Amino acid sequence: MLSISQRGQQMPPSPIRKLVPFAEAAKKKGIKVYHLNIGQPDIETPPAIMDAVKHTDLKVLEYSHSAGNESYRRKLVEYYKRVGISVTHDQIMITTGGSEAILFSFFTCLNPGDEVIIPEPFYANYNGFACTAGVEVVPITSHIENGFALPPIADFEKVITPKTKAIIICSPNNPTGYLYSRQEMEALKDICLKHNLYLFSDEAYREFCYDGDYVSAMHLEGMEQHVVLMDTISKRYSACGARIGALVTKNKQVYDAAMKFAQARLSPPGLAQILGEAAVDLPESYFAAPKKEYQARRDLLVSRLNAMPGVFCPNPGGAFYAIARLPIDDCDKFCQWLLESFSYNDQTVMLAPATGFYGTPELGKNEVRLAYVLNLEAINNAMDCLEKALEQYPGRTKEAKTTAAMAK
């Protein structure tokens, strides 16, 4: 009898997308679903970069260099210089989305059975990438009470073993929105140097920092051989479908080894590289409007959530995600119930259960991730739905039921 590989069986489903069938069923019943479950921005992709693709005069869409078009990589040198990162074009590798940059980093720097430490909650697909590479994820818990700040370095020290080879961070963070401070980044530098670890830095949201300054892992002096930066244009230019990212490192051994994986997949997407190259020429002022819009959405979402009885949501410092603690028994059940059994004025809201962002079992059961990628009116409507849902949900906690009864 044919069988599925052990890797295939162990590959975790996406906690962000697993509720899609229930959302589709709700829509077929005529219910409007507000999608706060996935980080798909509604900000318009800049027309200028779409036009660059439309107006290309290519006669043949050829393979590019496996590292990406040299013209694009040279353009990115200018981009990184603007954010305080000094690199050369041959330290930049264009990848098929940020996802491939993460995979190449794992394949290049880690052996099967090696361990990578990640502060949790973390981007759920790190689990999938680790499974693909045969790598073990070791979670270190951050807490909602302090906004998901970097866990104490002592917590890292406790789990470091001879198998530990890397730490992964994402700042500003998906799913929490937390923005690591200079002090926290320096603490990570110290532990990486002390234990000779790689620091994988996912910086997909650097343009969207609201409270505090963006500090890149590549700003850390003395870490040149340890840092592998994983990047993408998906969120920066609202171009998720382009599938263009980058792996950036000053470690030549890492770069040369990653190049072999890049050669095996031939080349990154051709037309999307043209789009990415044009994006570098956008004026600095381009980011002002989307950043202002996201900050307004954040402020509305967080204020609405914290005004609901029994709900707590720390204020995210960046990106466009927030995690909220709700007065519920089980976030997976609640998020499915929202789509299957609840509606308010023929509307409901789709959220991402936070359990999928934790590596430690049983954590996040009363938390959800919300992506504030909808306009202000839609966020208000979605929060109206959530507020009503929390009043009606059969699995409300005892405290929430008491509060609801007192309100009556």
Q: What is the pTM of this model?
A: 0.94
Distances (CA, A) of 382 to 7, 304, 370, 371: 38, 10, 11, 12
Q: Closest Cα to residue 200, out of 170, 224, 221? A: 170
- pLDDT at position 13 is 81
The pLDDT value recorded for residue 406 is 43
Given this model, what pLDDT does residue 14 score? 80
User: What are the tens digits of pLDDT across the range 49-72?
Assistant: 999 999 999 999 999 999 999 999
First to last CA, the chain: 61
Tokens of 296: 């307004």
Distance, CA of 395 to CA of 334 (rounded, Å): 8
What secondary structure does DSSP assign to 303-357, as a single string?
HHHHTSTT-B----SBTTEEEEE-SBS-HHHHHHHHHHT--SSSEEEE-EEGGGG
Contact assessment for residue 36 and residue 350, using Cβ atoms and an 8 Å cutoff: yes
Residue 401: predicted pLDDT: 54
- Which residues, at least 6 apart from 112, have a Cβ–Cβ distance to it below 8 Å? 133, 134, 135
Extract the runs of DSSP E, i.e. beta strands, from 59-135: 92-95, 115-120
Q: What is the dihedral of CA 247, 88, 167, 99, to 10 degrees?
A: -10
Q: What is the CATH number of domain 47-281?
A: 3.40.640.10
Domain coordinates in residue numbering, the chain: 6-44+287-407, 47-281
Q: What is the pLDDT of residue 408?
A: 44
Helix (H) / strand (E) element for 59: namely: none
Please list the ranges in the chain whose pLDDT falls under 50.
402, 404-408
CA distance 305 to 316: 13
* Residue 41 CA: distances (Å) to CA of 179, 223, 294: 19, 33, 10
What is the 3 state secondary structure string of 141-172? ECCHHHCCCCCCHHHHHHHCCCCEEEEEEECC
Q: Does residue 128 sit in helix, strand or coil?
A: helix
User: What residues contact residue 25 under an 8 Å CB cut-off, 6+ apart?
Assistant: 339, 340
* Cα gap 309→400, rounded to integer Å: 7
pLDDT for 407: 46
CATH T-level fold of 6-44+287-407: Aspartate Aminotransferase, domain 1 (3.90.1150)
SS3 255: helix
Per-residue tokens: 392: 């009606």
Q: Three-class SS of residue 184?
A: helix
Yes or no: say if 76 and 245 are a contact pair by the CB < 8 Å rule.
Answer: no
Tally of CA atoms within 13 A in the half-sphere of 337 that contains its CB: 17
